[in-house]
Amino acid sequence: MKTLHALSDITPDLRGASIAIGNFDGVHKGHQAVLEQARAAAPDAPLAVLTFEPHPREIFQPAAPPFRLMNAEARGHRLAKLGVDILYELPFDAALRDLSDTAFCAEVLAKGLGVTHVTVGSDFRYGKARAGDVDKLTACGAANGFGVTVAELIALPGVGQVSSTAIRAALSEGRPREAAAMLGHWHRIEGPVIHGAKRGRELGYPTANMGLPRLHRPAFGVYAVLAEVLDGPHTGSYSGVASLGVRPMFEGDAPNLETFLFDFDGDLYDAHLSIALVEFLRPEAKFDGLEGLIAQIKRDEASAREVLAAL
């Protein structure tokens, strides 16, 4: 998959795609349906996604709590796995924010990208003050020589309408399997391994520590996880147990994710990891001493191994 960050980067061979437009936060089943319809609408054209970085909500609501299900890196990885050929990840800046809906169609979609077809969800809004809707987009497409498909929102039995909001709620309540049902994949936290206090190593459980910048925070606690080491000498798939939270035993502050990989021996500092939350095992807890903590970690490891062996 080719990733482009500016209209000026788009060469003639990268024009003429059938594109799906949206934030694609989580790349959930609703987003996947949009991608499938974009592919079907123009099967001979490259399949592309047009999205924006940072997420527009971060610009319009800068004081809001972290809400993103994925960072840009994780979103790109997921879109590539789904067969997207081109990712147009344009900067959401003042110039783009102030474009009218008509100008966005003409200058970005038609002139800038030279799109063959556009597919969006039925709730899609665009342009300054979100003045554009699917009806305006359809009319604009007709005027500028590209087709438009509107994908209806989808719902799942026993779950309801699939949305990033519903997925956040499931994760906040410690229901990662329900979130996965809506996502169509495990919810993953991706990023580089950072240096921590190295307490896990002293306890006999060395962990790979990752921050959670700008990401929605699932329920704090201990999880059975699946891990992908994305680069470096230890690239591959592993199972593990992870603690997500503020480390109350050691008076932590900024939340992070600490993952212990089963049957692993190696240095992961600066490697990029993708950690899938499979099952919530227990909330965070503070213990009277290190012996109690170590005993609980052993129980957590056993529980996680049992959960993951059943997958």
Domain-embedded: residue 173: no
% of the chain at pLDDT higher than 90: 77
pTM comes to 0.91
**Of 264, 252, 269, which Cα lies nearest the Cα of 301?**
264
Catalytic annotation, pick one of 89, 178, 190, 258: 258
How large is the average pLDDT for residues 255-259? 93
58 among known catalytic residues = no
Average pLDDT of the chain to the nearest whole number: 92
138 and 8 assigned to the same domain:
yes
Residue 59: domain span: 2-153
pLDDT value at position 199?
A: 63
Domain-embedded: residue 172: no
Domain-embedded: residue 283: yes
Rounded Cα gap, residues 280 and 299, in angstroms? 14
How large is the average pLDDT for residues 115-134? 95
Q: What is the pLDDT of residues 139-184, one digit of tens each?
A: 999 999 999 999 998 888 878 889 999 999 999 999 999 999 999 9
Q: Which residues pair with 221 in a beta bridge?
A: 244, 283
**Number of domains, the chain:** 2
Q: Is the dihedral of CA 33, 163, 210, 310 positive or negative?
A: negative
| Concatenated DSSP letters of 90-145 | EE--HHHHT--HHHIIIIIIIIIS--SEEEEETT--BSGGG-B-HHHHHHHHHHHT
Where among 134, 153, 172 does a domain terminate?
Answer: 153
125 and 234 assigned to the same domain:
no
The CATH number of the domain holding residue 192 is 2.40.30.30
Domain-embedded: residue 158: no
- pLDDT surpasses 90 at 303: yes
Where among 153, 173, 197 does a domain terminate?
Answer: 153
| 135, 124 Cβ separation under 8 angstroms | no
Domain-embedded: residue 284: yes
| 232, 199 Cβ separation under 8 angstroms | no
15 and 117 assigned to the same domain:
yes
197 and 122 assigned to the same domain:
no
108 and 25 assigned to the same domain:
yes
Where among 116, 136, 153 does a domain terminate?
Answer: 153
Q: How confident is the model at residue 127 (pLDDT cuts 50, 70, 90)?
A: very high
